[in-house]
Amino acid sequence: MEPKKDYINRKPEEFDAESIDELRKLIEFHDNRYYVLDDPVISDGEYDAFFRRLQEIETTHPELITTSSPTRRVGGMPLSQFETVTHRFPMLSLQNSTSFGELKEFDERLRKIAGEKIIDYVVEHKIDGLAVSLTYENGHLVMGATRGDGTQGENITENIRTIRSIPLKIGFDGILVVQGEAFIGLKNFAKFNRAQEESGGKTYANPRNTASGSLRQLDSRITASRPLDCFMHSIRNYAEIGLKFHHEALDYLDRLGFRVTPLREKARGIEEVFKICDRERYERDKLDYGIDGLVVKADSFALQEKAGFVARAPRFAIAFKYPPREGTTTVLDIRASVGRTGVLTPVATFEPLLLDGSTVTHASLYNMDEIER
């Protein structure tokens, strides 16, 4: 998309509805290149000039401001509280597995349900963030909500609008419900904490809690100042669109302009799933976002519907969790901590150790068996 020179040189009052819409589309194009594709084609200065011009134009023509305008990402007036909303589709939790034996049992149950000798799966990263559900109507983002109890969550639409990698407008007619995981990348988290420290502000312990707390701010301007990102992992009303497989849904989300987890690999049978799990155990150290395992999901929507759910968890998907990360550091001191009941617990202070984006400096030594091991 080629920028028009008069976007910058023309006076704000010379813009009409059509030319304002063209400028919005230009900014949306560059948002997608930068935040979704990670492949910008203009400088930050050029982008800022387009964005400032749009702000000036909308100030001159407030009657032409739209809810999906890129300027809505900067946040608005604080809320007194979040509204509770009922999800169109439940936001489910996954059952966990920590061994190939448990994965094999899952596969056996699913093959029995399917009446098949082998199942086609899709394996994805399980992002360590905050689950969100987004609803679009005729291409416009109208609702963003937290998981809550799975049936009801909090309306955080204004905060969701501030996340640059989430499109405010998509090329889709009708209703689209998508779910994903909001997070803060490891490099962006470190950069954000450095900026906080330099300005004398509060620094934060880890990306996951920071992302969760940022999305639950009543003042969306605070949320807008945080480097939030989001990967989408599912389309809930896939049947209305005519999709038959999960991998098709992920590709469709990609084409609509959403960020989708880079790992979305098809696996023919559980043995191929094992190979992916083994490989990603070591590849995860290279990622710029935290994961707490992998998600293994039946690819066929027909099989997903046949398998159904047990309690609040689907029977067609399972999480594979890796062992907790470990590291080596040097103990600097050991002191006794007095609990509320008067019990003394030894607490070690050690050289800062970075694990999964969190800097750890203290640990309780109450478990002597673990210490000796």
Active site residues: 126
CA distance 41 to 131: 31
Q: Are 24 and 17 in contact (CB under 8 A)?
A: no
Number of residues that this document lists for the chain? 373
What is the SS3 assignment for 310?
A: strand
Beta strand pairing status for 317-320 and 96-97?
parallel
By 3-state DSSP, what share of the chain in percent is helix, strand and coil, each rounded to 5? Answer: 40, 25, 35
Q: Is 372 helix (H, G, I), strand (E, B) or coil?
A: helix
Reduced to 3 states, what is the DSSP secondary structure of residue 302?
Answer: helix
Residue for token digits 């203290």?
A: 362
Cα distance between residue 29 and residue 189, in whole Å = 25
- Residue 335 CA neighbour count, 13 Å, CB half: 8
What's the gap between Cα 228 and its chain centre? Answer: 8
Would you say 183 and 229 are in contact if contact means Cβ atoms under 8 Å apart? yes
Amino acid at 290: G
Cβ contacts of 316 within 8 Å, gap of 6 or more: 110, 297, 298, 303, 304, 307, 308
> Number of H helices and number of E strands within the chain?
13, 16
- DSSP per-residue letters across 60-127: H-GGG--TT-GGGGG--SPPSSPPEEE-SS------EE-SHHHHHHHHHHHHHHHT-S--EEEEEEEE
Cα–Cα distance for residue pair 129/182, rounded to 1 Å: 5
